[in-house]
A and B are shown apart, each in its own frame.
Chain A
């Protein structure tokens, strides 16, 4: 019990400090590395919360593929973030107010780990009970993902496909317009 709390506190402290460092840093490469580290610590946090499948997906996809995407995009982008001209007071204030409201509402949430919480009463017990007989796979997450809620996964693949097509369309356009239209804008880039 105590060891669980210690591990939890340790991981939470790391996550918070990474998030604060992300606010402070202005260098793009540090931003990318910190995001990757944040995903990895989140994966550790998922393990302590019994979500092993989510943990390795987060470690491979969240910390791996996202970082590769960020690094690939970084190569074409400015390496430094400029200091913003306008004040950051109003965004910070609204974030603090919204966070306060959320924390205030959190007193109505069920305590973590209670078996009587509404989320554990609905359909999850049936999945746990029926997984072995219906699907025959010991990993319940897999059987729910691929069989009970297979349509969700199908929709997910459609979303990913659409995003891929959109990325291709956006990056394709870049090459064609560079020759024709954006000639005057090149001058501005040299001036700036």
Chain B
């Protein structure tokens, strides 16, 4: 009984971690923090998959000589190995996007960036795309 509730409990922890990651992505306005939130979310999903593959009393899926060994499911491990490497690639891409935004706007806060975009937009309407006046505040 205790072990069964513990089993479900582990899922709950994973969901809490996922939601913290999601909150960092949608609640925080700093772009770097958003990418960190994505990384947290990703790692929680990895944890969920690996939890699915666990078998009670099992060993890591490396073959040994005895016949009646129970091995944990190797398939989620393979999928997550792939996902970790892809996750680093997406992190690198996101960070380079942040760097690019920083060099264009001079800020990585979402509020600043959208305010500058709004100023640009209104100036475009008023002056008919006059690029000299475009960035006067």
Please, how many angstroms separate the alpha-carbon atoms of A124 and B77 in the complex?
A: 11
Task: Report the tally of A-B residue pairs with Cβ distances under 8 A.
Answer: 298
Residue pair A164, B89 in contact (C-beta under 8 Å): yes
Kindly identify which residue among A35, A69, A156, A174 contacts B86, using a CB–CB cutoff of 8 Å. A156
Interface size class of B (residues with CB under 8 A): 35 or more
If A57-B84, A92-B27 touch, does A131 touch B63 (CB 8 Å cutoff)? yes
Which A residues are CB-close (under 8 A) to B124? none
Q: Is the interface of A mostly helix, strand, loop or mixed?
A: helix
Count A-side interface residues using an 8 Å CB cutoff. Answer: 102
Please, how many angstroms separate the alpha-carbon atoms of A156 and B106 in the complex?
A: 34
Kindly identify which residue among A8, A61, A76, A141 contacts B10, using a CB–CB cutoff of 8 Å. A8
Residue pair B43, A119 in contact (C-beta under 8 Å): no
Please, how many angstroms separate the alpha-carbon atoms of A123 and B13 in the complex?
A: 28
Identify which of residues 62-115 in chain B touch chain A, using a CB-to-CB cut-off of 8 Å: 62-64, 70-82, 84-93, 95-100, 102-112
Please, how many angstroms separate the alpha-carbon atoms of A149 and B74 in the complex?
A: 12
Apart from A50-B58, A111-B8, list 10 A-B contacts with CB within 8 A. A45-B50, A58-B46, A62-B84, A62-B88, A84-B110, A102-B18, A106-B12, A112-B7, A124-B73, A145-B81
Binding site for A on B (CB under 8 A): 3-4, 6-8, 10-13, 15-24, 26-30, 32-33, 36, 39-40, 43, 46-47, 50-64, 70-82, 84-93, 95-100, 102-112, 116, 131-132, 134-135, 137
